[in-house]
Amino acid sequence: MTATTDSGAGAMATAVSAGPESLPGRAQRAAGLAVENLLARQDAAGWWKGDLETNVTMDAEDLLLREFLGIRDEKTTREAARFVRSQQRQDGTWATFHGGPGDLSTTIEAYVALRLAGDRPDAPHMERAAAWVREQGGVAASRVFTRIWLALFGWWRWADLPEMPPEMIWFPKWFPLNIYDFGCWARQTIVPLTVVCAKRPVRAAPFSLDELHRDPADPNPSRGMAPAASWEGFFQRLDRSLHAYRKVASRSLRRAALRSAARWIIERQENDGCWGGIQPPAVYSLIALRLLGYDLDHPVMRAGLSALDSYTVRYEGGRDGDPGEAHDGPMRMVEACQSPVWDTCLATIALADAGVAPDHPALVKAADWMLGEQVLRRGDWSVRKPQLPPGGWAFEFHNDNYPDTDDTAEVVLALRRVRHHDRTRVDTAVRRAVRWSLGMQSRNGAWGAFDADNDSPFPNRLPFCDFGEVIDPPSADVTAHMVEMLSAEGRRDDTRVRRAVSWLLSEQEVSGAWFGRWGVNYIYGTGSVVPALVAAGLPVSHPAVRRAVYWLESVQNGDGGWGEDLRSYRPGHEREWAGRGTSTASQTGWALLALLAAGERDSMAVEQGINWLVRTQRDDGSWDEPHFTGTGFPWDFSINYHLYRQVFPLTALGRYLYGPGTGTGRQEER
Tell me the DSSP string of 551-582.
HHHHH--TTS-----GGGGSTT-HHHHTT-SS
Half-sphere exposure of 333 (CA within 13 A, CB side): 22
Contact 445, 416 (CB under 8 A): no
Give the Cβ contact number of residue 550 at 10 Å: 11
Partners of 312 in beta bridges: 334
Phi then psi dihedrals of residue 73, to 5 deg: -120, 165
Three-state secondary structure call for residue 385: coil
Query: Residue 617 and residue 623: Cα distance in Å, rounded?
Result: 5
- Among 391, 467, 458, residue whose Cα is nearest residue 431: 391
Three state DSSP letters for 427-440: HHHHHHHHHHHHHC
CA distance 290 to 519: 36
Q: Is the Cβ–Cβ distance between 565 and 516 less than 8 Å?
A: no
Question: CA 554 to CA 68: how far, in whole Å?
Answer: 52
Task: For residue 620, count CB atoms less than 10 angstroms from its CB and return exposed for 0-12, middle for 13-18, buried for 19 or more.
Answer: exposed
Q: What is the dihedral of CA 494, 495, 501, 507, to 10 degrees?
A: -150
**Residue 240 near residue 357 (C-beta atoms within 8 A):** no
* Cβ atoms 523, 630 nearer than 8 A: no
What is the rounded distance in angstroms from the CA atom of residue 48 to the CA atom of residue 252?
Answer: 50
Cβ neighbours for 420, distance < 8 A, ≥ 6 positions apart:
364, 367, 368, 426
For 71, phi then psi, to 5°, come to -120, 10
What is the number of other CB atoms lying within 10 angstroms of the CB of residue 316?
Answer: 9
- The CB density around residue 422, as the number of other CB atoms within 10 Å, is 12
Q: Active-site residue numbers?
A: 406
DSSP code of residue 269: B
* Separation of CA 206 from chain center: 34
Helix axes 585-597, 543-555, angle to 10 degrees: 150
Query: Residue 196 burial (CB < 10 Å; 0-12/13-18/19+)?
Result: buried
